[in-house]
């Protein structure tokens, strides 16, 4: 009987989070891509896409950061943090979630951010640099209209690479930001990881069958 109780407790621990999250749909994204340029205050300086075999959300928005603001310039030797503190989504060109297509005018994504290291600007000359960067691991939003309205989470690959370019003004001896792009791809599971997942599912199936047998015997 104690074994049956432990099996029931384990099953509840595993299934409870899924039951709680049933009202919010979760979609795994395999590739995150973001491109942005100077922000002149009007928005629309960013393009994005979140894709997987069954989902695709793409569109445009804005990137707000210290170095990508219009008329911001830097001198050689200045330290510049390449993080993007605020990424906001204004419009959509494609909204497909789990194989279902939704109207682009019905979609909403909540703001995100991108963390990146600080660099020191060189002595002169236009240049590009690629650094490791971390995007939010979850992007939340909603789409559709009743009765097909859904709240959802996009579980996105977050560890990726950020490439930024700076232009050099030889007259003013100053740098200005020109463009940036971020890309992150979800790692492919190792064979050992897949084997562990299969083993875990087999164990859970065995616990459920055993629990059913013990209930019939009691």
**Structural tokens at position 170:** 């030889």
pLDDT computed for residue 41 by the predictor: 82
Asked whether residue 178 is assigned to any structural domain, the reply reads: yes
Asked whether residue 38 is assigned to any structural domain, the reply reads: yes
Asked whether residue 109 is assigned to any structural domain, the reply reads: yes
Rounded Cα gap, residues 195 and 69, in angstroms: 49
Question: Helices 2-20 and 191-217 sit at what angle, rounded to 10 degrees?
Answer: 120
In this structure, the strands spanning 24-28 and 150-155 are parallel
**What is the number of domains present in the chain?**
1
Asked whether residue 133 is assigned to any structural domain, the reply reads: yes
Asked whether residue 212 is assigned to any structural domain, the reply reads: no
Helix residue ranges per DSSP H, the chain = 2-20, 191-217
| Whole-structure pTM value | 0.76
Asked whether residue 202 is assigned to any structural domain, the reply reads: no
The whole domain housing 112 covers: 24-187
Asked whether 73 and 38 are in contact (CB, 8 A), the reply is no
pLDDT computed for residue 200 by the predictor: 59
Rounded Cα gap, residues 52 and 30, in angstroms: 5
pLDDT per position as a tens digit, 145-198 = 999 999 999 999 999 999 999 999 999 999 999 999 999 999 755 444 445 455
Q: Which residues of the chain have pLDDT under 70?
A: 1-22, 188-218
Asked whether residue 211 is assigned to any structural domain, the reply reads: no
**Structural tokens at position 39:** 């922000």
Asked whether residue 64 is assigned to any structural domain, the reply reads: yes
pLDDT computed for residue 7 by the predictor: 47
DSSP run (H or E) holding 153: strand 150-155
- What is the DSSP secondary structure assignment for residue 205, as one 8-state letter? H
């Amino acid at each position: 009987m104690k074994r049956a109780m432990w099996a029931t407790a384990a099953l509840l621990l595993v299934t409870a989070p899924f039951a709680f999250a049933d009202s919010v749909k979760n979609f795994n994204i395999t590739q995150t891509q973001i491109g942005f340029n100077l922000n002149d205050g009007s928005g629309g300086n960013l393009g994005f896409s979140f894709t997987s075999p069954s989902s695709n959300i793409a569109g445009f928005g804005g990137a707000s950061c210290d170095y990508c603001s219009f008329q911001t310039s830097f001198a050689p030797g200045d330290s510049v943090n390449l993080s993007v503190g605020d990424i906001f989504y204004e419009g959509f060109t494609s909204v497909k979630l789990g194989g279902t297509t939704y109207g682009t005018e019905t979609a909403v994504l909540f703001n995100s951010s991108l963390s990146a290291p600080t660099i020191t600007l060189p002595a002169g000359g236009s240049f590009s640099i690629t650094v490791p960067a971390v995007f939010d691991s979850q992007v939340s939003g909603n789409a559709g209209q009743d009765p097909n309205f859904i709240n959802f989470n996009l579980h996105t690959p977050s560890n990726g690479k950020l490439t930024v370019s700076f232009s050099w003004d030889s007259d003013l001896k100053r740098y200005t930001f020109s463009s940036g792009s971020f890309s992150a791809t979800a790692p492919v599971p190792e064979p050992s990881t897949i084997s562990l997942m299969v083993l875990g599912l087999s164990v859970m199936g065995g616990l459920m069958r055993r629990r059913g047998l013990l209930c019939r015997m009691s």
